[in-house]
A = this chain, B = another copy of it.
Amino acid sequence: MARANTTKRAILDAALELAATKGITGTTMDEVAELAGVAKGSLYYNFSSKDQLFEALLQEGVGALADSLRSAKGELRGWDAVDALVTRLLDLIAANAPLAKLMASEIFRTDRAWQETLFALRHDALAVFAEAIDETDAAAGRSGIMASGVFGAVLMSGLEWLVFEPERDRDEVAAAILATLRVR
């Protein structure tokens, strides 16, 4: 069982790294097995199919993201909370760029086997932003759209930074994002 868990871990890590650059459909089970250092048979011992492997991967990754956002909000309210969430999300993206890339490319796909799962996870993460925005005076019953906007701004700026301008430092990027948003 401990053995199984470390194998599972290796498989999930390999799958994430490959999918971040090649996409999920573009990643083959052979490649995952090779990078994980296990035989292909072991993939299918630990996961029932390729779809189920990537569903587990997204569940773990996006679930952890939502949890971290919730803890970042803590007792903060309104724009203060949005400010803290933006910064936390940027740090999460920086610490897990492969997951961020994968989210960016999967978030609007509606044909996947794991669609329901991803939709729920996406909702959990955005709900934290929406909740904070609802505590401001700008929400006006459209905090869902606004939450997506803030999330999208951070995601795209964060990946722009990591992929195309990695020489910049984190504080500068955080400040740039906050400068475009009506925070405070």
CB neighbours (8 Å) of A153 from chain B are 149-150, 152-153, 156, 180
Which of A110, A175, A176 has the largest number of chain B CB atoms within 10 A? A176
Assuming the A-B contacts A149-B154, A160-B148, A165-B144, are A179 and B104 also in contact, with contact meaning beta carbons closer than 8 angstroms in the complex?
A: no
| Residues of chain A at interface, number, CB under 8 A | 47
CB neighbours (8 Å) of A73 from chain B are none
Assuming the A-B contacts A23-B25, A104-B107, are A156 and B163 also in contact, with contact meaning beta carbons closer than 8 angstroms in the complex?
A: no
Check A118 for interface membership: any CB of B closer than 8 A. Answer: no
CB neighbours (8 Å) of A23 from chain B are 23, 25, 105, 109
Check A182 for interface membership: any CB of B closer than 8 A. Answer: yes
7 further A-B contacts with Cβ under 8 Å, apart from A21-B111, A149-B153, A179-B182, are: A22-B111, A23-B105, A105-B105, A108-B159, A145-B168, A151-B156, A181-B182
Binding site for B on A (CB under 8 A): 21-23, 25-26, 101, 104-111, 133, 138, 140, 142, 144-146, 148-157, 159-161, 163-165, 168, 172-173, 175-177, 179-182
